[in-house]
Chains A and B, each alone.
Chain A
Amino acid sequence: MDQEVLKVEELCIHIHSEDRDYPVVEHVSFEVLPEHTLCIVGESGCGKTMTALSIMGLLPPNASASGKVIFKGQNLLELEKEQIRRIRGKEISMVFQDPLTSLNPVLTIFEQIREIFEAHDPIPSHLLENRVVEVLQEVSIPDAQHKVHAYPHQLSGGMRQRVLIGMALALGPTLVIADEPTTALDVTIQAEILELFNCLKKEKGLSAIYITHDLSVVSEVGDEILIMYAGMVVEKGPKYQILTDPAHPYTQGLLKSSPSYEKRGRPLPFIPGNVPSPEEKGKGCPFYPRCELSKRECEISLPPITSLGPGHVVRCWEIRR
């Protein structure tokens, strides 16, 4: 068995408001194996981004995390600010959703990439320019020598996302967290960026956490899939198992409602209702109000995690029977 790169155990995140605490992520456990990609899939508001932010130590001040996030033998949740700052960017880095706002509009690309080197391992200034151009060439930006001195608004969305990926990979991190990196791009660019991402990952032997709500993207990049619903893991397993033989009714619903060629000409099924907000959640299964198979016990108590095979777990009463 390989030693995992990142191990998250029983991660819980609470948001404190004035009168009470709301759980937004509850008892999430997963591990990322070397050179594997874990996809975290779920609707908006399921705690996907919160999970990623807690790994980076970037939770908003009114949120707190408990549990363990173990990276290279250290629990990231217990590190001092300065220690976690050294890990960010160098060991674990992140690519954000919106390339249009993730670059500072008043600084040139060169200035912004230079900063990563300054923050972690300063290199002499005469080598800096070459190194920065290399970063851009790595993510196949044409005419990188001139593009380094451009401002973000002079680049297209796809180019900007390439720059951001280049920045994330510049210092050779072990783990990259990509938070819906293709959501803000149009479909053709999306495919290009996905291919680039896969290519670089293979080349550099990276592990990745890929956060998305798009199941068609998952089939392109993932090795393992983690389905989240209302802050909980509802199903986790190898990619093909989940995509071909989903166990949880929510996963089944997601797969049914994603468009494909075979379903053309028919109305697309959908899962009625919305994700419950953290204050609406009851004691039982968070999915029961929207579930076709819901029984009385679903409302009363939370189903435990059940194993269905190697690496495949699911949280549902129906499966248990």
Chain B
Amino acid sequence: MGHREKGSSPLWEAWEEFKRNKLAMTGFITFVIFFFVACAGLVLTSGTHPIYDPAKVRLEAKLLPPFSRADPRILSRDEIPPGGVFLLGTDELGRDVFSRMLQGAWVSLTVGFVAVGISVVVGIIIGGIAGFYGNRTLSLRWITLCMLVVSSLICGFMHLYKGVIISLCLLGILGVIFQRYNIFKGRGILVDALIMGLIDIMLCFPSFFLILTVVALLPPSIYNIMIVIGLTSWMGTARFIRAEFLSLREQDFVIAAKVLGVSDAKIIFKHMLPNGIAPVLVSTTIGIASAILTEAGLSFLGFGVPPPHATWGGILSDGKFYLFDAPWLTLIPGIAILIVVLAFNLFGEGLRDALNPKITRR
């Protein structure tokens, strides 16, 4: 039946606006290239006999500069990389830096995306609740009891059985007190105030040190790092979504949808989220950059992904002892991190301008 006119959808218009911004387009293209390189990295470096083996040690060929030929007189056939050239040189154990960079690219990409994915989902849910249901009241009694249940669960999780017993005892005592006496009766706290308080508390912790602490307590694994980075960076998204929802909630079209009998969930996800997602998209791209940076920092400090697996921060960290003899070991991952983070930031800023055409009509 009816055909869709091109150039009418809001996303299409944003894309048209985005294309005009050269710097942002450069960032976007770099991001796309990085994406494919990282995917290729996964394919080329995994398996039992990968094409580019990042873990192969060649002590005869250590610390070779970039573009040096692999010498077939010293190295056996399966030690020579494809093409016979160490594109980016070798490190102190004779491992091919190009292979290791490829493997590290995939780590950076997944850490960036999964961590930010977690933080966006958590942020949208918490911010959405604060924005949409913020003016409801929770009874103080209910909150106190819930907190005790949660604390006993956490204690149980960490095998602190004394803590479990103490929390459960307190729970019982408080339950009896609440039934007999009038403490906290009818007193409540706004959902919004509660959630915003939680966000402010989370923002108080210097996040890098919080991540360091948590990572030090948990067994080292790439998944733990993704989850920890995700769970410590959702506050910005939550604030954006709350702010957007607060104003969208009062918009006529939301009330009109209610009048037509549309359910709350539909209103939130179909009417409000697409209208309020723009600032979140922008903060997401910049968030990916900072997650990549955080992961590199953690790996550099030795808290990141465990050693046999290469990461950019890890390569940088290993190379720092050979800064003067083999500068490429630090320069290559350093420049790679710089380019990717810069690309994401430029992309994010371009996106912000494109989604908010009112601000920058240059």
Contact = CB atoms under 8 A, between A and B. Distances in A.
Interface of A: 56, 58, 61-62, 85-90, 93-94, 96-98, 101-107, 111, 115-116, 119-120, 129, 133, 145-151, 154, 164, 167-168
Interface residues of B, number: 27
A292 B251 CA distance: 40
Given A96-B252, A115-B262, A154-B8, A104 B136 contact: no
B261 A107 contact: no
Contacts of B263: 85, 119
B98 to A, nearest CB: 45
Given A104-B271, A115-B270, A119-B262, A151 B9 contact: yes
B253 A102 contact: yes
Interface string B7-19: 0111000000000
A104 B257 contact: yes
A119 B261 contact: yes
Given A103-B256, A145-B1, 8 more contacts: A104-B257, A115-B260, A115-B270, A119-B262, A119-B263, A148-B2, A149-B2, A151-B9
A145 B262 CA distance: 24
25 contacts: A56-B259, A58-B255, A88-B261, A89-B262, A93-B260, A96-B259, A97-B252, A101-B251, A102-B256, A103-B256, A104-B253, A105-B253, A106-B10, A106-B274, A107-B271, A115-B266, A115-B270, A145-B2, A146-B3, A148-B2, A149-B2, A151-B8, A154-B5, A167-B260, A168-B260
B258 A105 contact: no
B5 A107 contact: no
Contacts of B251: 101
A168 B252 CA distance: 14
B260 A89 contact: yes
Contacts of A105: 10, 253, 275
B73 interface: no
The 4 nearest A-B residue pairs measured at CB: A89-B261, A89-B260, A101-B252, A88-B261
Interface in B225-273: 251-253, 255-263, 266, 270-271
B5 A149 contact: yes
Contacts of A154: 5, 8
Given A85-B261, A107-B270, A120-B261, A98 B252 contact: yes
B135 interface: yes
A259 B270 CA distance: 45
Contact of A88 (B258, B266, B270, B271): B258
A69 to B, nearest CB: 15
A61 B135 CA distance: 8
Contact of A146 (B2, B135, B255, B261): B2
Contacts of A107: 270-271, 274
Nearest to A133: B1
B4 interface: yes
Nearest to A177: B259
Contacts of A94: 256, 259
Contacts of A119: 260-263, 266
A103 B135 CA distance: 24
Contacts of B5: 149-150, 154
Contacts of A96: 252, 255-256, 259
A16 B115 CA distance: 44
Nearest to A115: B262
A101 B255 CA distance: 10
A88 B136 CA distance: 23
Select the residue from B256, B274, B275 with max chain A CB neighbours within 10 A: B256
Contacts of B252: 96-98, 101-102
A104 B275 contact: yes
B260 A88 contact: yes
A149 B10 contact: no
Nearest to B11: A106
Contact of B275 (A88, A106, A146, A148): A106
Q: Which of A85, A94, A106, A116 has most B Cβ within 10 Å?
A: A106
